[in-house]
Amino acid sequence: MLATSLALKKAKLTPEKGKSLTVLFNPDEYSISRSVTYASHTVPGLDIPIAQFINGTADTLTMNLFFDTYAAPEGGDTATQLSLLAASALPEVGKPDVRKYTQQVYGMMAVNGDLHAPPRVTFEWGSLKFEGVITSVTQRFTKFTYEGVPVRATLEVTFQSCKAQDAQLREMPRNSPDRTKYKALQDGEQLSAIAYAEYGSCGAWRLIAQENGIENPRALRSGRTIRIPAMLPEESD
């Protein structure tokens, strides 16, 4: 017989150094975004500029987290659930200050003494596991006791994807460039600098010069589009 109910999967935030925080209420939605930057180079004789990729940006995760100490929560760890469940039956004067819980998220942007930077934070909920740093938190308090104690709040939280340096190095591709590219030359640009950027070797400028029939690498015309060939592993030695 199938179970008639399923346990609620609770979202949690785990800082690199510190204790995990299970949110009081799961978010209603979240958004993940990424962008890339291109530069346009005008080339004589072409109808439209050539778009050259410059760089990408890290993924960004944005969500609203709801906190309420006036009523019983759906999430939180066991101790928090029991505490707030008991508080929900108290008169208004006995309601806990919601900042006790929102400050735990806000504090994840504080500089860690051991890391000398804010800690990386992992947000986990269901199939989503997002590792990064919290770059922005906006706290909006929407309900108060008659004494002015906030008991309900919404936090708009933004994370930026960020991995440890050793993890990034392990994931970094080590093979040489395997795709032919095209590049519009800028004023004063040198083949040796392009070769170093593309292949990691200034001496590979000869490969580019040969591919484009360039006899004098010191007399390059600005705006000219050159072909940067794929570099085979044996050519990089």
85-128 tens-digit pLDDT: 888 888 888 899 999 999 999 999 988 777 678 889 999 999 99
Residue 99, class by beta-carbon neighbours within 10 Å (0-12 exposed, 13-18 middle, 19+ buried)?
middle
Max mean pLDDT among 114-128, 154-168, 186-200 falls in 114-128
Contact 58, 163 (CB under 8 A): no
Is 217 inside a domain boundary?
Answer: yes
Q: Take residue 187 and report the two structure tokens written for it.
A: 């004023």
Average pLDDT over every residue of 214-234:
79
96 and 33 co-located in one domain = yes
| Cα–Cα distance, 54 to 39 (Å, whole number) | 7
Residue ranges making up the domain that contains 192: 181-236
The last residue of one of the domains, among 169, 194, 219, is 169
Contact 11, 123 (CB under 8 A): yes
| Cα–Cα distance, 203 to 186 (Å, whole number) | 20
Average pLDDT, rounded, for the chain: 82
**Beta strands of the chain (E only): which ranges?**
12-15, 21-22, 30-33, 36-41, 50-56, 60-68, 121-125, 128-144, 150-161, 181-184, 225-228
Residue 139 C-beta-side C-alpha neighbours within 13 Å = 18
What's the number of domains the chain is made of?
2
The pLDDT, as a whole number, for residue 194 is 86
Query: How many helices and strands in the chain, by DSSP H and E?
Result: 5, 11
The proportion of the chain whose per-residue pLDDT surpasses 70, expressed as a percent, equals 86
The pLDDT, as a whole number, for residue 14 is 94
57 and 153 co-located in one domain = yes
31 and 114 co-located in one domain = yes
225 and 118 co-located in one domain = no
The last residue of one of the domains, among 169, 198, 223, is 169
Contact 84, 77 (CB under 8 A): no
Q: In the beta sheet, which residues pair with residue 197?
A: none
Whole-model pTM?
0.63
β-pairing, 225-228 with 36-41?
A: unpaired
Q: Which residue has the tokens 């909920």?
A: 125
Is 5 inside a domain boundary?
Answer: no
Contact 146, 162 (CB under 8 A): no
The last residue of one of the domains, among 141, 169, 197, is 169
> Of the ranges 65-69, 101-105, 218-222, which one carries the lowest mean pLDDT score?
218-222
